[in-house]
């Protein structure tokens, strides 16, 4: 691993556990075992490092959560597969994200203190909701979604349920509670669809 990659990896871990504001560049420098020059040779400031960390976190999110989705035909089954991946491969990734979902943690932390950075993080939430909406719209076009279903409402329930399950798992580390929450989301999705 090159120095730049080591810095991004360690910043990702530290931002995940301590947050952006509480993590100093000195913390990252010490954890990586480099110098200020080593850090600032690659990043002009902490905000630029944040944007690189965010890019890497999104890449990992896609790799973990979208793995295998392209092989699934039915749109609603793609959503269910993402839920399984999220539970089993993303939230379980304590190597990269020892503090849980970095996106939720950073959004909450930065919304008042650094709203422009929180907006960068929230952009990923908007894209994820758009993907969910697209899958549910495809399900409707295939005649497999109940006519009475409000797609925007369903997207909000699934998205909010996923975030809530993540927050609770980060707090209590209970696989049992996480499995129950994901099972309830899957049952809800099944309930709005035509088998």
Q: Give the residue-averaged pLDDT of 144-149.
A: 96
Q: Tell whether the model's pLDDT for residue 1 goes beyond 90.
A: no
Q: Give the residue-averaged pLDDT of 106-132.
A: 96
The string of pLDDT tens digits covering residues 18-59 is 999 999 999 999 999 999 999 999 999 999 999 999 999 999
Q: Give the residue-averaged pLDDT of 154-180.
A: 95
Q: Give residue 144's pLDDT.
A: 97
Residue whose entry in the numeric block shows the structure tokens 């009475």: 148
Lowest mean pLDDT segment, chosen from 67-76, 81-90, 92-101: 92-101
Reading the block at residue 116, the tokens are: 């422009």
Q: What is the 3-state secondary structure (H, E, C) of 4-32?
A: HHHHHHHHHHHHHHHCCCCCCHHHHHHHH
Question: What does pTM read for this prediction?
Answer: 0.93
| List of domains in the chain | 58-192 (1.10.357.10)
- Beta partners for residue 145, in sequence order: 193
3 state DSSP class of 54: helix
Percent of the chain with pLDDT over 70: 100
Query: Which band of pLDDT confidence, cut at 50, 70 and 90, is reported for residue 92?
Result: confident
């Amino acid at each position: 691993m090159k120095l730049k990659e080591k810095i991004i990896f360690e910043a990702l871990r530290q931002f995940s556990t301590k947050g952006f504001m509480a993590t100093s560049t000195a913390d990252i420098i010490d954890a990586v075992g480099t110098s200020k020059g080593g850090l600032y040779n690659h990043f002009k400031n902490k905000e630029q490092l944040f944007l690189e960390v965010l890019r890497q976190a999104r890449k990992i999110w896609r790799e973990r959560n979208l793995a295998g989705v392209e092989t699934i035909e039915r749109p609603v089954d793609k959503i269910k597969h993402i839920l399984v991946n999220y539970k089993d491969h993303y939230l379980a990734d304590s190597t990269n994200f020892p503090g849980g979902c970095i996106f939720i943690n950073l959004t909450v932390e930065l919304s008042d203190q650094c709203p422009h950075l929180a907006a960068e993080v929230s952009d990923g939430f908007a894209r994820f909701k758009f993907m969910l909406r697209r899958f549910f719209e495809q399900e409707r076009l295939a005649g497999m979604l109940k006519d009475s279903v409000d797609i925007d409402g369903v997207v909000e329930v699934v998205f909010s349920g996923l975030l809530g399950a993540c927050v609770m798992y980060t707090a209590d580390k209970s696989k049992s509670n996480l499995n129950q929450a994901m099972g309830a989301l899957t049952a809800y999705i099944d309930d709005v669809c035509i088998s």
